[in-house]
Chain A
Amino acid sequence: MIEFKNLHKSFGKLVVLNDLDLNISEGGIFAILGPNGSGKTTLIKCLLGMVIPHKGEITYNNKSVLGKWDYRNDLNYLPQIANFPPNLTVKELIEMVKNLRPKQSNEQDLIKLFGLDDSLQKKLGNLSGGTKQKVNIVLTFMFDSNLIILDEPTNGLDPIALIHLKELIQKEKTKGKTILITTHIMSFVNEVADEIVFLLDGRIYFKGTVDELKKQTNNDNLEHAIANLIAKQYA
């Protein structure tokens, strides 16, 4: 479904993605892991067309995405930092995003699910970090798209919201959607991810299921297995 070929990106002298090749098949939850600064967000932003790679090709449903924009109608993205224009209210923001994307949306259920009814008329500048993240999640999940990209989705969420988020992700998965997640919370990965893509030094260091990773590193605990992979970088 998504294919990255020989992807190369550097910021100044810092090489972030180094001839990266990755294939992501349709359906399932993929966790993109790696130490800080390993290029997870850059990889995602390349797919979204926000960062422009120096070399390489990215295809989505066998069509090149570089320089295009209409393919984004079929993907939902949850950005890492939820900062919205402070003068708008939550309701106005939702209306605006809906207006920009002429697509069926089901924001009412999500607003109820995350208990945002009381916040609808509040200005975004006055919301707490966790509430902003909930708004962010509503904006991401209210459209029906085949690809969902979540960048650190658990940031600032309370336990109940986290449970709802996990349910949402599972629900989308059963609909046959592809979900990409970056996170540092290993228990979250253990719970939801079907496959792990581990980035190191701008390349794919490991790709496979959680069990395969445990077997390869001779470790039963996912957190330690991942730490094992990162430790090789420091060694």
Chain B
Amino acid sequence: MLKILKYSFYDLMRSRWSYVYFLFYLILGFVLLFLNNDVNKAVITLMNIIIVLTPLIGTIFGVMYYYNSREFTELLLAQPINRKKIFMGQYLGISISLTLSLVLGLGIPFVLYGLFKSAAIFNFGLLLVVGSFLNFIFVALSYNIALSTENKIKGFGYAILMWLFLAVIYDGVFLISLVMFDEYPLDKFSLIATMLNPIDLSRILILLKLDISALLGYTGAVFRKFFGTNLGMLLSMSILVFWVLIPVLRMNLKLRKKDF
């Protein structure tokens, strides 16, 4: 598996898009820091961008890589390697290279700005951890979609729809249902609904840590009360881990029956 990981990783590191993605974060980091002049504020702005952008890029990279390397995957499948290892290697290769773009792209400007002397280091660290989780989650989800869809265009469409649903539509439906049923107790509902969407969960996780959860109103209050601080963090993190594990598990199950 390590060999496949290595080649997928090198292949992606050679692709122009990895650099574009890295440069984007690098420029974003510098611009935000020097315009805001405040690490904490920059972290909040970054959060809003990362929470929507990393899932989108993860989804697109995942689907594109799968469809573009189809014939090559066939060549690998005829070699004496377990097919699970081939796909896990590719999956980790994409996820790690995207995560590296994120961590280095944002890390460099923040370190240069004097992150280590700032109190915001934990918040920033959390932001990177959550961003990395979102990379791993959405590459896994998009790989699932690609494995289940033979047609490239359809697969691409489904993947974008999945992103649109989790990043935009889900929130809309969630809000509407909160308004519609506001006469009922909604604490549990809103908690569970938030956990079922990794993007929402990441947002809440960072906002809670930033101590601006009062801005969140209802949901924030519920979350504060339910999770406390450390326990809430632990629980949310483990749910993010599940969000990685379950798609990866399904990927492996799907692979057992898949024809190439």
The answer, yes or no, to whether A96 is at the interface (CB within 8 Å) is yes
The answer to whether B11 and A72 touch across the interface, beta carbons within 8 angstroms, is no
B75, CB-defined interface residue at 8 Å: yes
B257 at interface by CB-CB < 8 Å: yes
Q: What A residues does B260 contact at CB under 8 A? A: 45, 50-51
Q: Mark A38-58, 1 if CB is under 8 A from B, else 0.
A: 000000010011111000000
A79 at the interface (CB under 8 A from B): yes
Smallest beta-carbon distance B89→chain A, Å: 11
In the bound complex, residues from chain B placing their C-beta under 8 Å from that of A99 are: 3
Report which of A45, A69, A73, A83 forms a contact with B72, defined as CB distance below 8 A: A83
Report the bound CA distance from A71 to B80 in whole Å: 7
- CB of A87 within 8 A of chain B? yes
Question: Interface residues of B, CB < 8 Å — how many?
Answer: 23
Would B71 and A51 count as touching, CB distance under 8 A? Answer: no
1/0 contact string of A69-82 vs chain B (CB within 8 Å): 11111000101010
Given A45-B259, A45-B260, A96-B7, check contact A84 B80 (CB 8 Å): no
Name which residue of chain A comes closest to B257, CB basis.
A52
**CB within 8 Å for A84 and B71 given contacts A73-B80, A77-B78, A100-B79:** yes
Interface centre among B15, B77, B256, B258 (most CB of A within 10 A): B77
Contacts of B212 in A (CB 8 A): none
- Find out whether the CB atom of A79 lies under 8 angstroms from the CB atom of B80: no
**Contact (Cβ within 8 A) A72 B78:** yes
- Tell yes or no: B69 within 8 A of A by CB: yes
Alpha-carbon distance between A69 and B78 when the two chains are bound, in angstroms: 9
> Is B78 in contact with A48, judged by CB distance below 8 angstroms?
yes
Q: Does B81 contact A (CB under 8 A)?
A: yes
- A-B contacts, 25 listed (Cβ < 8 Å): A45-B260, A48-B78, A50-B77, A50-B78, A50-B259, A52-B256, A52-B257, A52-B258, A67-B256, A69-B82, A72-B80, A79-B74, A79-B75, A81-B71, A83-B71, A84-B71, A84-B75, A85-B69, A85-B72, A87-B11, A87-B14, A88-B11, A97-B79, A99-B3, A139-B75
Enumerate chain B interface residues (CB-CB to A < 8 A): 3, 7, 11, 14-15, 69, 71-72, 74-83, 256-260
Of all A-B residue pairs in the complex, the 3 with the closest CB atoms, nearest first, are A83-B71, A73-B80, A72-B80
